[in-house]
Chains A and B, each alone.
Chain A
Amino acid sequence: DTGVSQDPRHKITKRGQNVTFRCDPISEHNRLYWYRQTLGQGPEFLTYFQNEAQLEKSRLLSNRFSAERPKGSFSTLEIQRTEQGDSAMYLCASSHPLAGDPYAFFGPGTRLTVL
């Protein structure tokens, strides 16, 4: 399968712990996006990368959140000192602006539960 993959699919953690999620985009997709989706709501933009460069960060991305894409391939999203309000589905998507299809392919998401 050459789709977007995310790991883990589910994460339960205690408040105050750090968590890290991984996203592997579709091969050769140079754009990678992170979104957060709370129950019954639409995905909210967090940040996106073109290759290894982080082009934009939402104000939703507090200083407890950090995202990296060190080699322009996979990306990680880390949340430090988790809070109950961080509980959500974290979605990753990728796209290639020059591939003829401008839409983004989404991964299955990582569901985070903070106790």
Chain B
Amino acid sequence: DVVLTQSPLSLPVTLGQSASISCRSSQSLVSSDGNTYLMWLRQRPGQSPRRLIQIVSNRDSGVPDRFSGSGSGTDFTLTVSRVEAEDVGVYYCMQATYWPHTFGQGTILEIK
């Protein structure tokens, strides 16, 4: 199975500052169709996950442009600019290139 390793696992951030989360894959996530099915999701406390970014860098509908995804191959980054209180939660990277799809361990973003 593809292993996704996130860092850091805990990320205290000051309101208004930026935060970055890294996700490294044990193998390239480039699919045979040329797409890289690396997604980012957030799970707020007590809620279901919500996808924020699909295929590395494409924001889902309604996701603020403060959220951006980047990377290629095996190394990916989620950046949250101008962090707001509503951004707290656990962030997961997820790959859907191979079955079984897999998630990273999760990164807890909290406000300092």
Q: Do A and B come from one complex?
A: no
Q: Spell out A's residues near B (CB within 8 Å).
A: none
Binding site for A on B (CB under 8 A): none
